Amino acid sequence: MSVAENAVETAYAKINLALHVRRREADGYHALETLFAFADDGDLLELTDRPGLELTGPFAGALAGATDNLILRASRGFAELFGRGGERGFRLDKRLPVAAGIGGGSADAGAALRLLCRVYAVDPQDAGLMAFASSLGADVPACFVSLPTRGVGRGEQLERIEGVPSGMPLLLVNPMVPLATGPVFVAWDKVDRGPLAGGDPLAAALAGRNDLEPPAIGILPVIGEVLALLRKQPGTRLVRMSGSGATCFALFEDEDARDAADAAIGAERPDWWRMATRLR
């Protein structure tokens, strides 16, 4: 089978509109309540006829030398489950920073699974496929769906939600310093500050928080600078760190406000990465 026009998929950048850490479980994982949403942009993944993974794009260098990329693990698992796709490879245009709290490898793995489902006519609702996605990482099921969801457990138990305003202007900002997830969870103060509200997801997000912001800022103080600069911008609806950082985001009332903020932050901190987009 040769590469077709439909053999390209976006690995949509993930954001956590809110992220409540409730407790640390006996197995070392943390019980979470989160609202996942996705940008309309991200990495681009293409299915090729050459086995393996080819890397391009501004952040390709960060993945160079990786021997067990999540994309390839996703591909191998898909082939074992359905007997198709194992002879194919991928080309990843890595446009998102790594170790950044916006999906990263999970988004790429989710895109690989969606791509393989489409090309090989596999039902994306297949129970075995969703279980396999969960085995790849806690965020992979949400990134596979790439639509607004409420996540509990480790974030892998998902419920689709309505009311996240598709098309709402969104600005992502990263200070260009990677931040590993593990140390941020270790630095969490173990205080349960209460559940995430139900109902309207944007209202719940506005009333909620990201419990990983304080420990992340403690490890990487520049995150506080990113948040402060975003909060200074006119027209924001919600400003928050995503995931375990270091990427922060702002939702805006309109595209003019987002674009003005993008230009202002770019002028003040040209060394930071930015992506002006919208909610998917």
Q: 212-271, pLDDT tens digit by residue?
A: 999 999 999 999 999 999 999 999 999 999 999 999 999 999 999 999 999 999 999 999
What number of other Cβ atoms are within 10 A of residue 174's Cβ?
Answer: 26
Rounded mean pLDDT, 17-23: 98
> DSSP 3-state assignment of 90?
strand
Cis peptide before 246 (omega within 30 of 0): yes
The one catalytic residue in 14, 41, 93, 262 is 14
> Which pLDDT tens digit goes with each residue over 145-180?
999 999 999 999 999 999 999 999 999 999 999 999
Whether pTM exceeds 0.75:
yes
271 in active site: no
Which pLDDT does position 1 carry in this prediction? 40
Which pLDDT does position 86 carry in this prediction? 86
Q: How far apart are CA 236 and CA 221, in angstroms?
A: 22
Which pLDDT does position 2 carry in this prediction? 42
Which residue ranges form the domains of the chain, and what is each CATH number?
8-160 (3.30.230.10), 169-278 (3.30.70.890)
Structure confidence at residue 5 as a pLDDT band (50, 70, 90): low
Which pLDDT does position 184 carry in this prediction? 98
Which pLDDT does position 251 carry in this prediction? 98
139 in active site: yes
**Considering the chain, what is the average pLDDT of its residues?**
95
Residue 89 contacts residue 49 (beta carbons within 8 Å)? yes
> Which pLDDT tens digit goes with each residue over 178-197?
999 999 999 999 999 999 99
Alpha-carbon separation of residue 240 from 19, 46, 71, 224, 279 (angstroms): 10, 31, 28, 10, 15
The one catalytic residue in 41, 43, 93, 139 is 139
Higher pLDDT: 87 or 12? It is 12
Residue 84 has pLDDT above 80, yes or no: yes
Residue 105 has pLDDT above 80, yes or no: yes
